[in-house]
Structures are given as structure tokens and as C-alpha cells.
């Protein structure tokens, strides 16, 4: 199988806040872990809310927030939580760019979108 990634991933485990509308149409605000990060995206693990490919979610790491599109979703081995591959939208700065710049990863243009994400819960 060929690697379709456009940039290298960095094996990290970052604490992130994730919010949006889940697959059941309910608003959620959760804390989880981002792994295999890049300037374009990440793998989110331990999500407790059902998401679908194409959903827009918000992700915050430290003080930086960005919108991401869900690319794919998989249940964990026990089926209790899921993980999702996400891709950052063009308009937003990468929330973990500081961590990646320390490792020498250059900026790459992310995905464009015209859809709006619900506001982050207070």
C-alpha cells in the first residue's frame, strides 16, 4: 500500500480540546489526545462522541484553536471510544505549529472550506 500522506507525521501525544456537533446531532465539548501530528492534520484518539467523515470540528491546543474536517473514523478495540483522522482548514493556523517548528517541519497549505463550525462552548 502506498503512503498517501503529503507531509511527514510527528509522533506526539498532545492534550487537546475538541468540540462540534456529533453524528447524533448533539453539541459536544471534550478533551482527548492528538497523535501523529502534522501541520495539515492529526489522529485524534479517545473520542467519546460519534463523528462522521466530512464533519467539521474545532480543536484547541493550549491557546490556539482551528477548524478541522474529519477524514475517517474508527472504533477502538472495545468499541467504547473512537479515533478520527482530521485535516485542518486553510483559514486557520495550526494549533500545534510551535511544537512542529521546533522539529523543523515547514508550513504547508491546508484544506479550504466554506462551511461554518458552531461556536465553541463557553
Share of the chain above pLDDT 70, in %: 75
Q: Which of 81, 78, 68, 72 is nearest to 112 (CA)?
A: 68
**Structure confidence at residue 19 (pLDDT):** 97
CA distance 109 to 36: 18
Four-way CATH pick for 10-101: 2.60.40.10, 3.30.565.10, 2.160.20.10, 2.40.10.220 = 2.40.10.220
Distance separating alpha carbons of residues 49 and 80, to the nearest angstrom? 10
pLDDT at 7: 64
Domain range list for the chain = 10-101
Q: Model confidence over 81-121: pLDDT tens digits?
A: 999 999 999 889 999 988 876 655 555 444 455 555 556 66
The rounded distance, in Å, linking the Cα atoms of 26 and 53 is 16
- Res. 47: pLDDT tops 80: yes
Mean pLDDT of the 49-78 span: 94
Per-residue pLDDT, 57: 97
Amino acid at each position: 500500500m502506498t503512503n498517501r500522506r503529503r507531509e511527514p507525521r510527528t509522533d506526539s501525544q498532545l492534550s487537546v480540546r475538541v468540540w462540534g456537533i456529533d453524528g447524533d446531532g448533539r453539541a459536544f465539548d471534550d478533551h482527548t489526545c492528538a497523535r501523529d501530528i502534522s501541520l495539515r492534520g492529526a489522529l485524534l484518539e479517545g473520542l467519546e462522541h460519534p463523528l462522521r467523515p466530512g464533519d467539521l470540528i474545532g480543536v484547541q491546543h493550549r491557546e490556539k484553536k482551528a477548524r478541522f474536517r474529519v477524514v475517517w473514523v474508527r472504533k477502538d478495540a472495545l468499541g467504547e471510544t473512537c479515533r478520527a483522522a482530521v485535516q485542518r482548514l486553510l483559514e486557520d493556523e495550526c494549533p500545534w505549529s510551535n511544537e512542529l517548528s521546533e522539529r523543523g517541519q515547514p508550513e504547508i497549505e491546508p484544506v479550504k472550506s466554506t462551511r461554518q463550525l458552531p461556536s465553541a462552548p463557553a
